[in-house]
Amino acid sequence: MDHLQRDIKRCPRVAVYGTLKRGYRNHDWLKGATLLGQDRLSTLTLYDLGPYPGAKQEASHGAVIEVYAITPEQLALLDELEDYIAHAPSTGVYDRAIFPTLFGDAWCYLYNADVASVARIDSGEW
């Protein structure tokens, strides 16, 4: 195992499903991160919030995610972007939780608000 592979194994991971994915407007927030690959999580359901999706921890046919190895500093920046409030996670726009992926456990941001009147994305891909 080379030095880079050892470093990546120690990095936090993040699973993204919306505007942070390649080709979308917030992907630059992952500049310098290492794309580990794509997966489909059957424990997430995506909802169409208009300009971005939100995910809930619910069974589905699978939400398509990209998994990145990031630095702790990048995770802190993503917390700001996603309005994640560590000392009161249920009060921000998003909370975050760890999910198992093909590339190891990864943080994923979960939408806090009610989605009863929001369209579900049954394809799992936003």
**What is the mean predicted confidence (pLDDT) over 21-49?**
97
What share of the chain has pLDDT > 70, as a percent? 93
What residue ranges do the domains of the chain occupy? 3-121
The residues carrying an active-site annotation are 82
Question: What pLDDT is attached to residue 7?
Answer: 54
As a three-state string, the secondary structure of the chain is CCHHHHHHHHCCEEEECCCCCCCCCCHHHHCCCEEEEEEEECCCEEEECCCCEEEECCCCCCEEEEEEECCHHHHHHHHHHCCCCCCCCCCCCEEEEEEEECCEEEEEEEECCCCCCCCEECCCCC
Q: What is the pLDDT of residues 47-70, one digit of tens each?
A: 999 999 999 999 999 999 999 999
Question: What pLDDT is attached to residue 14?
Answer: 98
- The arrangement of secondary structure in 3-121, i.e. its CATH architecture, is Roll (3.10)
